[in-house]
Structure 1
Amino acid sequence: MNRRQLVDLMAAGRPALGTFVNLGSPLAAEACALGGAAWLLIDLEHGGTGEDALLPQILAAEARGVAALVRVETADRIRAGRVLDLGVRGVMFPRIDTAEQAAEAIAHLRYPPEGDRGVATYNRACGFGLDTGALDRANDEILGIIQIESPEAVTNAAAIAAVPGVDVLFVGPRDLSHAMGIPGQVRHPDFLDALGQVLDAARGAGIAAGTLAATPASAAGYVTDGFTFVGVGSDSSILAGAVADAIRTIIDTAADNATRRQKEIV
């Protein structure tokens, strides 16, 4: 799935659902892709590995027809350029507070004269020099995702959304709630108001609003509210949660069985 397919999907009001990938494992990435995700976001900001583990995860996602996106560590030009040359379908920029910062970040996704992405054709994104049309297509093929993680960013959400090349305003719930002084309280009225402001800003600009949900139920709630780019946990949290649920079920079921047998003996 490429940028245009994702954008068209979201423009039609249908959610593009995915998950964050932070284990650095191509097998975990492929498993998530097989689970039906429309996109996988490989996390270089908080993930457990770095750029050395990036390419195998991109290949795993592509093998299953899923868009491989990357959250870079910073909005520095070189960080975006490195992952773009490996052939990712989109880049998420953290810690963007103003329209000016957003415009500078998005410029890193575009070749001149539209942006300042470094030009080279011997990389994977250009088919190692064999894809002669890659440079002409590239500016239209990269999904631009801007994270909204501070009260300042919420205030500037409409201006950020209006920056050409911004496809998604993505609320980072943990960072934003902490910055607002209500850590983790994603149902707090003030947090919900901030979410509404971001959603309205995205709608006003005709782009998508996104966020990360801890559970499928909360993700469904965001979709109902109008968010169309929604992540559900991460490969690590889904795995850990599944194991915890399995262990809890075994213990509870065994305890119930023991109680029932004790009653039968009595």
Structure 2
Amino acid sequence: MAITSLPLNTFKRGLESGQPQIGLWSILSSHVTVEILAGAGFDWLVLDTEHAPNELPMVYSQLQACVGGTAHPVVRVPWNDMVTIKRYLDIGVQSFLIPCVDTAEAAANAVSYTRYPPRGVRGFSAAPRANRFGRVKDYPQLCEDELAVLVQIETRQGLNNIEEIAAVDGVTGLFIGPGDLSAALGHAGNPKHPEVLEAIEDAIRRILACGKPVGILTPDETLAKHYLELGCTYVAVGSDQGLLARGSEQLAARFKNLG
């Protein structure tokens, strides 16, 4: 029997219920590693196309690799671009992480790219993977409920406009990008600088005051737990690239030091 219903966006439901969502960043751009990670027990997995050598056909395979795992795929697009987002929607992406959203207008644009007219500007395709190749007949009316639009706050301007961005209808949550934010504040490569940490905590408080879920990425376990305690709902606690690089270095060092 054909499947005629949409996949439930468990990640979005978790955010709406306030249940902490623990995630991992995927940079290696491989459906093999994604399949391994998707079943590791995480709640969400970022398939990065901004700072990774990842392209749409590869992400298509990575979405397939996520099927059956615990981790809901969240695609970080390379930019807040209508055509790019349309193409990822068609291959079945339900959750988006949009980089460098500095204003309410940019946030509203991001949302509009995921909505069909008259609520947005998404182009229509009759039978993409998103509607199970035409098997979900009322997809245009149902899909919005399963879409999550997460916008990244990673500049001074973005910090200044948090309340306006959070007020945009259709923005599911705000995500703080420590790397770019540290650069924007004059401390590139040092996301643990006191000024950066202070700005992050202030942003968390303000986003929560707006009633929106707040997310962040940090491989520092102590910081990750601290941000969860502050009220962050979705926290990415590392990356596949970091796990491979540091783990392989540590293994090599243990044997190199035997002599």
Q: When the two structures are superposed, what TM-score results if normalisation uses the length of structure 1?
A: 0.89
Task: Report 1:1-266 matches (<5 A).
Answer: 2-3=8-9, 5-252=10-257, 254-255=258-259
Question: What's the Cα RMSD here?
Answer: 1.7
- Structure 1 Cα separation of the partners of residues 207 and 8 of structure 2: 21
1:84 CA displacement:
0.7
Paired residue type of 2:248: V
Provide Cα deviations, 1:207-260, integer angstroms capped at 9, x if missing partner. Answer: 2111111233332222122211111222111111111122223344x25xxxxx
Paired residue type of 1:165: G
- Structure 1 Cα separation of the partners of residues 222 and 251 of structure 2: 19
Whether contact under 8 Å (2:126, 2:134) holds in the other structure is: yes
1:186 CA displacement:
2.6
Shift of the 153–218 alpha-carbon distance from structure 1 to 2, 3 Å rule, reads same
Shift of the 248–14 alpha-carbon distance from structure 1 to 2, 3 Å rule, reads farther
1:2 CA displacement:
4.1
Which structure's residues are more often helix, by fraction? 1
Between stretches 180-189 and 18-27, larger displacement belongs to: 180-189
- Structure 1 Cα separation of the partners of residues 8 and 217 of structure 2: 21
Whether contact under 8 Å (2:12, 2:146) holds in the other structure is: no
1:126 CA displacement:
1.2
Whether contact under 8 Å (1:2, 1:89) holds in the other structure is: no
Whether contact under 8 Å (2:40, 2:70) holds in the other structure is: no
DSSP 3-state at the match of 1:102 = helix
Shift of the 223–111 alpha-carbon distance from structure 1 to 2, 3 Å rule, reads same
- Greater Cα radius of gyration, structure 1 or 2: 1
Whether contact under 8 Å (1:20, 1:40) holds in the other structure is: yes
1:99 CA displacement:
0.7
Paired residue type of 2:127: Y
Instruction: Report the counterpart of residue 261 of structure 1 in structure 2.
Output: none
Paired residue type of 2:187: I
1:136 CA displacement:
1.2
1:157 CA displacement:
0.8
Paired residue type of 2:205: D
Identity of aligned residues (%): 33
Shift of the 7–49 alpha-carbon distance from structure 1 to 2, 3 Å rule, reads closer
Paired residue type of 2:242: S
- Structure 2 Cα separation of the partners of residues 209 and 173 of structure 1: 13
Whether contact under 8 Å (2:97, 2:150) holds in the other structure is: yes
Instruction: Report the counterpart of residue 259 of structure 1 in structure 2.
Output: none
Q: What is the count of residue pairs matched by the alignment?
A: 253
Provide Cα deviations, 1:33-66, integer angstroms capped at 9, x if missing partner. Answer: 1211111111111112211211110011123143
1:140 CA displacement:
1.4
- Structure 2 Cα separation of the partners of residues 65 and 156 of structure 1: 34
Whether contact under 8 Å (1:173, 1:184) holds in the other structure is: no
DSSP 3-state at the match of 1:196 = helix
1:104 CA displacement:
0.7
1:122 CA displacement:
1.4
Paired residue type of 1:98: T
Q: When the two structures are superposed, what TM-score results if normalisation uses the length of structure 2?
A: 0.91
Whether contact under 8 Å (1:42, 1:68) holds in the other structure is: yes
